[in-house]
Amino acid sequence: MHYSEPASTDAGDAPDTPPVARMVEDIVGCKWSLAVIGAVRRGVCRPGALEHSIDGLSKKVLNERLAKLVRYGLLDKRRYAEMPPRVEYRITPFGEKFCGLLDGIETLQRELRR
């Protein structure tokens, strides 16, 4: 099994990476981005599986969200040199840190409901 090197593993590598505050605003304000991140965190890593695991998510929107999350440095896209071709997405180390922010927001929300 062979795969190509990830496009970027550190959000600081990409010159078009927005500030973290902008990322939080963009991700938290997008239910599909949150759903995709959640699914990848649960181990759903292939595009077809992601599409089937999130009700109402179209292939077009999924591809847009995956591209954005890779561009932000939250996900790593791996292409495997197999037939048929295979692609998988994983949370990057920066993505794990970012997910900590999302977890903190979720914790605050639960505390407010008490």
Domain boundaries, the chain: 18-107
Per-residue pLDDT tens over the stretch 21-53: 889 889 988 999 999 999 999 999 999 999 999
The percentage of residues in the chain with a pLDDT greater than 70, rounded to a whole number, is 86
Q: Quick one: residue 43, left, alpha or beta (phi over 0 = left, psi -120 to 50 = alpha)? A: left
What are the structure tokens assigned to 99, written together? 């997910």
Token look-up 């929107």 returns: 61
Task: Give me the CATH topology for the region 18-107.
Answer: Arc Repressor Mutant, subunit A (1.10.10)
Q: Is the pLDDT of residue 80 over 60?
A: yes
What value does the mean pLDDT of the chain take?
Answer: 87
Distances (CA, A) of 82 to 20, 32, 78: 35, 29, 12
